[in-house]
């Protein structure tokens, strides 16, 4: 049978049918691939566009003084978040956003978005928006699908009060990420002071939520089937600090460069730690303004420096009580030992002068402390030698950091024969070095905090206590308080009668006829202490005063240093007196005693 020729019309029809079957077959296969085989992948991408995982920053733990008053807390502020992957594809929107947030040209695009342009997890773009920035953002938010706002907690400080010891928070640097577990780029961490030391306790735990967004990137709600996880607030620091005494100390340092440290003789708790000049730590609670940072760094008075623990100075005559105790302990001098002071002391061909021209004449042990006779202690130093001077200061923990809960604490320096041999060689130094270090000059260097620990130990008479700022850590979640353990007090390893002589010498400095601080006598709160004037090759001498109160049964010790202040008796001692008096009156009866002391004024 012969098959007839297929007409052109039929051929075209069959061709269309075959092509149509092939096209629809391919489309069906592709739909099957997309709808069935690749469904999980595209569902995940769809969810990325529709849902956002938002981390909720926890409120950072607050800090309270010894009476429960807030020193550091938090306040609500607006933070602008953005999805880098979305912003990177929308250059127009990114330009509008940078303008609304008043960000420098190129900062948003090049430093914030570009490094994370393949990331779809929201990132913080700018914290603590001003009203102007907030208003500008609201005007253009419909044109920027990749940006949104969140209310977060910003660190709030009590102005400059206690700025150095509290420290500050700032965004974690890339090189710091390994030091802070559970921290990502953009998070705030403690950088100095208590904020840094107790960062893990203060930071808390992040919460999270899933938001649902529309095609414009605007949030329309939260996912109903995913539970929101609330953040856990950070723990509170309960400090030994007293805000009244701290504020007083800072006010008394106004216009000077120096430090004040006060501590409870009975516990080692730091009551005040002031450093001048100061700075406002709140400027760091986000991205640091370059202008403000440069101004702080270039300030010749170095306001960022915590002079209470980071700077070292010659202690001057304040060490004479330690020298007295060591001389007696060594057996080289006795309680009845005395010396003649003609106004100078000669070692080899060098004459070391006493501060008093013409000298003090015949000087006994207690008169030597009271009148601060240099010649007497030159001779004590020559009796006990370089290592004896070293031991005199080491007994009160000079030469090593105290271990206080602060960052960058300096060790100080107390020379020994081994030190001089290393520095100058065994034949490169002589006994002529001794007179200077015997009165706290030469290579001897101490911090104001070490000095406060020293006079607190003299006041106690038995032990040296490590200074500390945090008494306990309170967990608001469990309502429990954990006391911060402190090391056991360390015995002074000296006879009680010798320490008692040092205490009596300190009393006579204020209450004796020749006392160098006799102008600080106050019957309401009798104080004792020691003045010091430290030679400074770069300018005027530094002024020291260390003291304790009351004279009988002391409860508080204080150290005051004023750089370039001159004489400790006229500059540092009046500040210490007011600080000591304030704490004693607070302990005796609070505000009523203070009102009585100020003549009835509140």
Which is it for strands 470-475 and 480-483: parallel, antiparallel or unpaired? antiparallel
Cα 79 to Cα 544: distance, rounded to the nearest angstrom: 47
Cα 147 to Cα 123: distance, rounded to the nearest angstrom: 9
Q: What's the whole-number mean pLDDT along residues 31-57?
A: 65
List the helix and strand counts (H, then E) for the chain.
19, 23
**30-34, 197-201, 246-250: least confidently modelled range:** 30-34
Taken in order 586, 592, 597, 598, is the CA torsion positive or negative?
positive
> At residue 1, does pLDDT exceed 50?
no
- Write phi, then psi, for 403 (nearest 5 degrees): 90, 10
Q: What's the whole-number mean pLDDT along residues 533-537?
A: 83
3-state secondary structure of 424: helix
> At residue 500, does pLDDT exceed 50?
yes
Quickly count: other Cβ atoms within 10 Å of residue 70's Cβ. Answer: 13
Q: What is the structure's pLDDT at 602?
A: 32
Domains of the chain with bracketed CATH: 52-239 (3.90.1310.10), 244-277+307-468+491-597 (3.40.710.10)
Q: What is the structure's pLDDT at 596?
A: 43
Residue 150: strand pairing partners: 79
Q: What's the whole-number mean pLDDT along residues 569-574?
A: 93
Q: What is the mean pLDDT of the chain?
A: 89
Cα 212 to Cα 50: distance, rounded to the nearest angstrom: 6
Distances (CA, A) of 561 to 436, 451, 548: 20, 10, 15
> At residue 601, does pLDDT exceed 50?
no
Helices 91-100 and 131-140, axial angle in degrees (round to 10): 150
Find the farthest-apart pair of alpha carbons in the chain and give their distance in angstroms, rounded: 152
Q: What's the whole-number mean pLDDT along residues 475-492?
A: 96
Cα 418 to Cα 32: distance, rounded to the nearest angstrom: 85
Percent of the chain with pLDDT strictly greater than 70: 91
- In three-state form (DSSP H/G/I as H, E/B as E, the rest C), the secondary structure along 96-160 is HHHHHCCCCCCHHHHHHHHHHCCCCCCEEEECCCCHHHHHHHHHHHHHCCCEEEEEEEEEEECCC
> At residue 57, does pLDDT exceed 80?
yes
Model confidence band, residue 287 (pLDDT cutoffs 50, 70, 90): low
Q: What is the structure's pLDDT at 550?
A: 98
Q: What is the structure's pLDDT at 597?
A: 45
Q: What is the pLDDT of residues 405-424, one digit of tens each?
A: 999 999 999 999 999 999 99
**100-109, 163-172, 209-218, 555-564: least confidently modelled range:** 209-218
């Amino acid at each position: 049978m012969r098959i007839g020729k297929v007409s052109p019309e039929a051929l075209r029809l069959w061709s269309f049918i075959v092509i149509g079957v092939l096209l629809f077959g391919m489309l069906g296969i592709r739909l099957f691939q997309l709808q069935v085989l690749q469904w999980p992948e595209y569902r995940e991408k769809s969810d990325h566009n529709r849902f956002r995982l938002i981390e909720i920053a926890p409120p950072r733990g607050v800090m309270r003084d010894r009476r429960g008053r807030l020193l550091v807390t938090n306040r609500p502020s607006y933070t602008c978040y953005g999805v880098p992957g979305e912003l990177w594809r929308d250059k127009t929107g990114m330009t509008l956003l940078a303008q609304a947030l008043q960000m420098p040209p190129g900062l948003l695009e090049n430093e914030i978005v570009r490094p994370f342009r393949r990331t779809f997890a929201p990132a913080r773009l700018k914290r603590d928006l001003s009203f102007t920035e907030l208003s500008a953002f609201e005007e253009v938010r419909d044109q920027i699908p990749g940006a949104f706002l969140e209310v977060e907690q910003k660190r709030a400080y009590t102005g400059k009060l206690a700025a150095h010891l509290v420290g500050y928070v700032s965004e974690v640097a890339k090189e710091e990420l390994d030091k802070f577990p559970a921290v990502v780029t953009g998070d705030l961490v403690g950088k100095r002071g208590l904020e840094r030391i107790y960062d893990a306790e203060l930071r808390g735990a992040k919460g999270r939520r899933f938001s649902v967004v529309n095609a414009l990137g605007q949030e329309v709600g939260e996912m109903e089937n995913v539970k929101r996880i609330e953040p856990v607030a950070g723990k509170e620091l309960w400090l030994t600090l007293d805000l009244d005494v701290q504020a007083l100390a800072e006010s008394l340092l106004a216009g000077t460069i120096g430090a004040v440290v006060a501590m409870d003789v009975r516990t080692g708790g730091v009551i005040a730690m002031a450093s001048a000049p100061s700075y406002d730590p709140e400027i760091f609670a986000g991205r640091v303004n370059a202008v403000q940072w440069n101004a702080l760094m270039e300030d010749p008075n170095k306001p960022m420096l915590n002079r209470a623990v980071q700077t070292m100075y010659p202690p001057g005559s304040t060490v004479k009580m330690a020298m007295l105790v060591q001389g007696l302990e060594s057996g080289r001098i006795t309680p009845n030992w005395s010396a003649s002071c003609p106004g100078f002391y000669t070692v080899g061909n060098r004459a070391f002068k006493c501060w008093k021209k013409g000298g003090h004449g015949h000087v006994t042990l207690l008169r030597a402390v009271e009148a601060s006779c240099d010649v007497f202690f030159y001779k004590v130093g020559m009796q006990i030698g370089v290592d004896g001077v070293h031991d005199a200061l080491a007994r009160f923990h000079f030469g090593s950091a105290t271990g206080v809960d602060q960052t960058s604490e300096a060790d100080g320096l107390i020379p020994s024969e081994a030190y001089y041999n290393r520095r100058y060689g065994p034949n490169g130094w002589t006994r002529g070095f001794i007179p200077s270090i015997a009165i706290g000059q030469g290579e001897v260097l101490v911090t104001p905090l070490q000095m406060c620990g020293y006079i607190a130990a003299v006041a106690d008479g038995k032990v040296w206590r490590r200074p500390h700022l945090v008494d306990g850590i309170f967990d608001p979640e469990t309502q429990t308080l954990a006391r911060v353990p402190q090391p056991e007090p360390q015995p002074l390893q000296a006879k009680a009668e010798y320490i008692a002589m040092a205490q009596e010498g300190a009393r006579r400095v204020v209450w004796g006829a020749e006392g160098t601080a006799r102008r600080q006598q106050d019957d309401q709160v009798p104080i004792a202490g020691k003045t010091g004037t430290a030679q400074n090759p770069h300018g005027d001498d530094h002024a020291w005063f260390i003291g304790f109160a009351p004279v009988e049964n002391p409860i508080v010790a204080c150290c005051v240093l004023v750089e370039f202040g001159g004489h400790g008796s006229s500059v540092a001692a009046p500040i210490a007196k007011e600080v000591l008096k304030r704490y004693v009156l607070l302990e005796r009866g609070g505000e009523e005693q203070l009102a009585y002391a100020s003549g009835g004024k509140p």
